[in-house]
Amino acid sequence: MAAVSVFPSPAELGAALARSVAEAAAEAVASGGRFTLGLSGGSLVPLLARELPAALRAAPGAEPSRWLVAFCDERLVPPEHPDSTGGAYRSQLLSQLPRPSPHVLWVTPGLGPEETARDYEGQLRMAFPGEATPRFDLLLLGVGPDGHTCSLFPGHALLQEQNSLISFLEDSPKPPPQRVTMTLPLLNAAKALLVVATGASKAPVIKRILEPPEEQREESESLPAARLRPRSGRLRWLLDQEAAKELRIPLEKCP
């Protein structure tokens, strides 16, 4: 069952998120030699850019030089475009981290959607040799008001994908239309998933996912973010009070 932690505001949530990343990194580096991290875009970029550098200074064992960083999804736009997730992380977060920098798996620009997906899956397989399905130490995910996560949207055929680690779409309901994304088998193979949601606009879908009415349970469980069910890993939701305001289930209320 997922753990749900609620914070007074996005500021406290961001600090807790950064500490969680730093602690997971230190643990992974100490036990396995490297830390594998998947990043999502949107509001997570400024949250991490604001909080993670300080959290890493407080956790010297986290060693960003021992990190492998990938992107949970990417919009197929030039790296300098405002919609580029990789570009946003490059300019806002990665430039702040101590050197030597993490090893980042960048989405190759200039390819078509299908070729981009194949190329990125190939990069992942090379980075995780011998693993049929790579197991990231930690994936950081968001959720949209419609229940989408990564670039997996409600009712889309990609929700049924079982063979590819990375797939593509050319008809995203949100612009830009062309994207690549991790698929559910890869997401649910992770050792830990952290799902972040802030703001009152997310409250109805958080209610549907975490506390669905019985008569809507089947429909709610079909939402992409509701299908985050790690096979042997941990799932934790980080919410601010506004996003959690419709929930009645037991919650961990954090200062």
Show the domains of the chain with their CATH numbers: 3-253 (3.40.50.1360)
Residues 18-57: b if buried by 16+ CB within 10 A, e if exposed: bbbbbbbbbbbbeeeebbbbbbbbeebbebbbbbbbebbe
143 close to 225: Cβ distance less than 8 angstroms: yes
Task: Check residue 238 and give its pLDDT.
Answer: 97
Task: Check residue 114 and give its pLDDT.
Answer: 97
Task: Check residue 60 and give its pLDDT.
Answer: 84
29 close to 60: Cβ distance less than 8 angstroms: no
One-letter amino acid identity for 228?
L
Task: Check residue 21 and give its pLDDT.
Answer: 97
Task: Check residue 35 and give its pLDDT.
Answer: 97
Task: Check residue 249 and give its pLDDT.
Answer: 75
12 close to 50: Cβ distance less than 8 angstroms: no
Task: Check residue 242 and give its pLDDT.
Answer: 96
Point out the residues of the chain with pLDDT beneath 50: none
18 close to 251: Cβ distance less than 8 angstroms: no
Task: Check residue 69 and give its pLDDT.
Answer: 98
